[in-house]
Structure 1
Amino acid sequence: MINIFSPSKLLLQLSLAASLVTAQLQTISNFGPTYNTQLTMQAYIPNNLPASPAVMLALHACGGSGPGYFQQTKYKSLADSRGVILVFPSSPKDFNCWDVASAKTLKHDGQGDSQVLVSMVDYLIKTYKADPKKVFVTGTSSGCMMTNVLAATYPDRFAAATCYSGVAAGCMAGSPGSSPISSDRVCSDGRIVKSGQEWANQVRSMYPGYSGSYPRFKTYHGTADNLVFYQNFLEQIKEWSTIHGVSFARNETSTPQSGYTTMIYGDGTKFVGVSAAGVGHVVPTHEDLDFKWFGLT
């Protein structure tokens, strides 16, 4: 039997073989200046990207790392099915916490952690022609604290945010560090209590002159959290409901699961708080609901 070479058949076979190769988390070192922050960038690029893909930044807790958070969460499978680029950066300093306390990080283009994280997103937008209007951020504990900071310092760069067990943007301002060991604990203990207007003023001071909209925000917290106390959840609520100009509308009990209460502000599209009864530090990630909040369904 004569085997006739077919270029089209070969290309098909090569294409099928390539699709079977699983994409991996990769380290990217040339994304831009790090301003002595020591932050490193790890990204996950799904094999089959659509035109103008979305980008999601995922921020680990203290003591963690980008690769570790990547393994602990289920964002990869969602990214594969929806063609979303993921960024899992790492902070190697201050017990692997994000800097949410210094003047540099709490200022737009202040050459701190917040600016470096945004430069990672910019690199992906440029390299993969991602949609700048579909950039999202999430994080746990210290990562949630940085999520709040990014929403305040770069509100024009993120469409929406979710986070777990953190503090309001600016709560750690002036602390000698951002970790449970190096910080002064006043913030994390829930002893910084402000009015919604005071918090909103602090948010706006992080990006002077900005008059645009802020990211849609959804935050989770456990009532039994004795590391980042529950009062910090209430302060986040005051901060972001004031920024978005929405008032409490209703509670949805046993949502998204038993023991959780979803607190709806306004029509529920700009700000939502989720209180987890009896849950300590930290509230588990709800990846499917994060993607739903981001509109990545």
Structure 2
Amino acid sequence: MKKHPTLPLQARRPHLSPLETFGTDPGGLRASTFVPKSFTENGPLVVVLHGSSQSARSYDIGSGWSVLAEELGVTLLFPRQRLANNSIGSFNWFMTSDSRRGKGEALSIRQMIRRVVKDHKVDPKRVFVTGLSSGGAMTSVMLATYPEVFAGGAIVAGLPYRSADNLTAALFRMNGYGIPSDRRLSALVRGASKFTGPWPTISVWHGDSDTTVDQANAGAIVGQWQKLHKVEGPPTRIEKIDGAVRRVWCEPKGRAVIEEYIVAAMGHGMPINPRSAHGLGKEGKYMLDVGISSTRHIAAFWGLTPKVAPARVNAGA
């Protein structure tokens, strides 16, 4: 019997299914899901938020999330923006009506999660969220407004929660101007809900040559969550991994609760490494082949996969 060649990871294109109904949907969003054959009851869920001018499908192909999900047995939820809500397809992370608990797009995404957790018997203690650019900023919104829902989040080229409350301020913050103090940003997260912890773990990714969302926003996201996690001050350790500088803040017992990757010479986008033996994704607009797979490293940080074995150099502490 003739054997068909096995497709490389990057060539596999799992099908995303529409999520037809999920609640009142005050934000007027749409959604797709991917439930791999490898998923078993009480498995994890990752919510994936696309960036501006992207679709859920293009973001999935670029990032490789569904390929990794099939490998690990992870269900995925892809909230989708509509052009009727935002002319460039951005999530409205800076709008008061969409960035508060119980309102707009934030509530729509919460309703989607509730539906998927129920329908597919997801472990409610293993729900994670990640996103790029406006999707990264919306990830900040979800982590702040519904922290009890998430075990962890990953913000790629994004901004802190409530660093802006209108479009003009959003444009200034994207350029690194007028970002609120760490103390103020932390207080905004505390005030977003009645939650008192334990807080979601936070992974932050940014290129040091990003001219769309200034790198200062990465530091502000870290600062926003340090006080909440009680890990203020310098990082526990600093490493160089696959060419990126990784800073890690750990609790007294050693658990890493915040990590920050700054990728050298990378502009605005998501770091991918499609050419490696375990490569994921496909290079394209905002999907940047810079030799490090943020998708795999994020999954490892969340404990969804064995730790990635990168080229590691100790850079001090």
- TM-score tier by shorter-chain length is 0.7 to 0.9
How far the C-alpha of 1:221 sits from its partner, in A, is 0.8
- Aligned partners of 1:170, 1:40: CA distance in 2, in Å? 24
Match for 2:22 among 6, 23, 31? 31
Which amino acid in the other structure matches residue 294 of structure 1? W
Determine the C-alpha separation between the residues in 1 that align with 2:129 and 2:185.
21
Q: CA deviation at 1:272?
A: 1.0
Report the Cα distance in structure 2 between the residues aligned to 1:282 and 1:73, rounded to whole angstroms: 10
- TM-score, structure 2 length as denominator? 0.79
Secondary structure of residue in 2 paired with 1:219: strand
Unpaired segments ≥5 residues, structure 1: 1-21, 177-182
Confirm whether residue 235 of structure 1 aligns to residue 220 of structure 2: yes
Residue in structure 2 matched with residue 289 of structure 1 by the alignment: 297
Within 5 Å, give how 1:147-162 maps onto structure 2. Answer: 147-162=139-154
* Maintained 8 Å contact 2:163/2:180: no
Could you tell me how far apart the structure 2 residues matched to 1:68 and 1:274 are? Answer: 24
Structure 2: distance between partners of 1:283 and 1:128: 29
Give 1:117 shift: 0.8
Alignment correspondent of 2:314: none
Question: Which residue number corresponds to residue 131 of structure 1?
Answer: 123
Corresponding residue SS for 1:48: coil
For residues 223 and 79 of structure 1, the distance between their equivalents in structure 2, rounded to whole angstroms, comes to 29
For residue 166 of structure 2, the aligned residue among 174, 189, 204 is 174
Q: The residue matched to 2:17 in structure 1 has which SS?
A: strand
Per-residue CA deviations over 1:197-224 (Å, capped at 9, x if unaligned) read 11111111221x3222221001011111
Q: Distance in 1 between matches of 2:230 and 2:127?
A: 22
- Aligned-pair distance for 1:103? 1.7
Residues 84-99 of structure 1: pairs in structure 2 closer than 5 A: 84-92=74-82, 93-94=85-86, 95-99=88-92
Spell out, residue by residue over 1:7-63, the C-alpha distance to the aligned partner (whole angstroms, 9 max, x if none).
Answer: xxxxxxxxxxxxxxx96210111122211x231010001123212121100010100
Aligned residue in 2 for 1:17: none
Distance in 1 (alpha carbons) for counterparts of 2:30 and 2:163? 25
Matched residues in 2 for 1:24 and 1:68: separation?
12
Measure, in 2, the Cα distance between the counterparts of 1:160 and 1:126: 20
Q: What SS does the corresponding residue of 1:233 show, helix, strand or coil?
A: helix
Alignment of 1:141 with 2:127, yes or no, is no
Runs of 4+ in 1 over 3 A off after TM superposition: none
- 203 and 48 in structure 1: CA distance in 2 versus 1, 3 angstrom threshold: same
Cα shift at 1:251: 4.7
Query: For residue 231 of structure 2, what is the aligned residue in structure 1?
Result: 246
Report matched runs for 1:42-81 at 5 Å. 42-81=32-71
Alpha carbons of 1:233 and 1:184: their partners in 2 closer, same or farther (altered >3 Å)? Answer: closer
Aligned length: 265
Q: Does 1:264 align with 2:248?
A: yes
Distance 1:24 1:184 in 2: 34
Give me the identity figure in percent. Answer: 23
Tell me, in whole angstroms, the C-alpha distance in 1 between the residues paired with 2:110 and 2:102: 10
Return the offset for 1:282.
1.5
Secondary structure class of the residue paired with 2:61: helix
Q: Deviations over 1:48-91 (max 9, x none)?
A: 32121211000101001111212212111221122111011210
Q: Comparing 283-292 with 162-171, which one deviates more in the overlay? A: 283-292
2:93 is aligned, of 100, 108, 126, to 100
Provide the secondary structure at the position in 2 that maps to 1:89.
Answer: strand
TM-score (norm. length: structure 1): 0.84
Contact 1:69 1:88 in 2 (8 A): no
Q: Using the TM superposition, give the Cα deviation of residue 250 of structure 1 relative to its aligned residue in structure 2, in angstroms.
A: 4.4
